[in-house]
């Protein structure tokens, strides 16, 4: 993975607009967060391979933190805290958020 280049990622997102795609969203603050003195709570969400079509895609942000959104017929899918990206098998866009 490499740090997000907003123009390159936007171009890749635009390639998927108005096409049937599969979206996988997985977010967490760390699987072991609750193990540090029981002071943290593990919080996460998981959506696996949902087929959808989006009419608009946008990535915004600056520095090293970004937010990406996909506009669906009846709403949006957002991911925040994104830092890195890669194209997997030349057809799958992977966006991730990593801490220090």
Tokens standing for residue 38: 């029981």
Is the distance from CB of 61 to CB of 50 less than 8 angstroms? no
First vs last C-alpha separation in the chain: 15
CA–CA distances in Å: residue 34 to residues 17, 31, 42: 38, 8, 6
Q: What is the mean pLDDT of residues 16-21?
A: 96
For residue range 30-53, what is the model confidence (pLDDT) as tens digits?
Answer: 655 555 555 666 677 888 999 999
What is the pLDDT at residue 92?
94
Q: How far apart are CA 11 and CA 8, in angstroms?
A: 5
- Structural domains for the chain: 2-96 (2.70.180.10)
Average pLDDT over residues 83-88: 95
């Amino acid at each position: 993975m490499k740090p997000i280049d907003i123009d390159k990622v936007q171009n890749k997102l635009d390639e998927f607009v108005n096409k049937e795609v599969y979206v996988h969203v997985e977010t967490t603050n760390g699987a072991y967060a609750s193990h540090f003195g029981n002071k943290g709570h593990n919080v996460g969400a998981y959506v696996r391979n949902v087929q959808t079509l989006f009419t608009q895609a946008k990535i915004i942000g600056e520095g090293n933190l970004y937010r990406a959104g996909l506009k669906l017929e009846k709403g949006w899918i957002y991911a925040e805290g994104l830092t890195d990206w890669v194209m997997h098998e030349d057809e799958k866009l992977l966006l991730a958020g990593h801490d220090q």
